[in-house]
Amino acid sequence: MIKRLIWPVLLSLILMQPCIGYAQNKQQLKIGDDFPGFFSTDLEGNMFFLKDHIGEDAEFKHAGIIFSFCASWCKPCKKEIPELEKLHAKYADKGIAAYLIAVGEDKTKVGEFISDLGTSLPVLVDRYQKALEQVGRPGLPHTVFIDRAGKVRFVNTGFSENTAGEIMERLENEIKTVADSGSSSE
């Protein structure tokens, strides 16, 4: 009887571990930090270079960018993504872009995950977790909002129904500030 009770508990703990288990000793990003430059590919194999999206010489001039590091096995990620999609739809015409960065999985797995979610957000694939390393290997989901100068304006790790409203409100307040000001960091 005890074995029947222990196995489900142990299995639950093991399965939940990846969502919170990425944290390492590397310094995590803080508000006001410069977001590290990185490159990745999207699901079609197109290259994404951050320098093409922010800064004075950027080809695509965004007022700000939301990055959400996620994975197909991360249940909180699946809850956060629809909320990010709503914000993206609301502020895209003000120059706010949003990208999902799928970590630790190949394009096929990521494509299935995105298809199942039905999201239209662009997806970058960080199979070898190089971009995640750049931000200190936090837990998932890990959401960062940067302004046009590449300054971190918002950072959050984790997502739950209990905190979703407060998290999204904080993120939206930063988005409004950046979108309405038309300037970079203050």
Q: How many domains are contained in the chain?
A: 1
Q: What is the pLDDT of residue 182?
A: 61
Q: What is the pLDDT of residue 4?
A: 55
User: Each residue of 91-112: pLDDT tens digit?
Assistant: 999 999 999 999 999 999 999 9
Q: Which of 9-23, 54-68, 145-159 has the lowest mean pLDDT?
A: 9-23
Tokens of 4: 């029947």
Q: Which residues contact 92 (CB under 8 A, 6 or more apart)?
A: none
Q: What is the mean pLDDT of residues 145-157?
A: 96
Q: Judge whether 10 lies within some domain.
A: yes
Q: Which domain holds residue 169?
A: 2-181
Secondary structure of 135-169 in HEC code, one letter for each residue: CCCCCCCEEEEEECCCEEEEEEECCCCCCHHHHHH
Q: Judge whether 186 lies within some domain.
A: no
CATH code of the domain covering residue 120: 3.40.30.10
- This prediction has a pTM of 0.83
Q: Judge whether 161 lies within some domain.
A: yes
Judge if the upstream peptide bond of residue 141 is cis by omega within 30 degrees of 0.
yes
Q: What is the pLDDT of residue 58?
A: 84
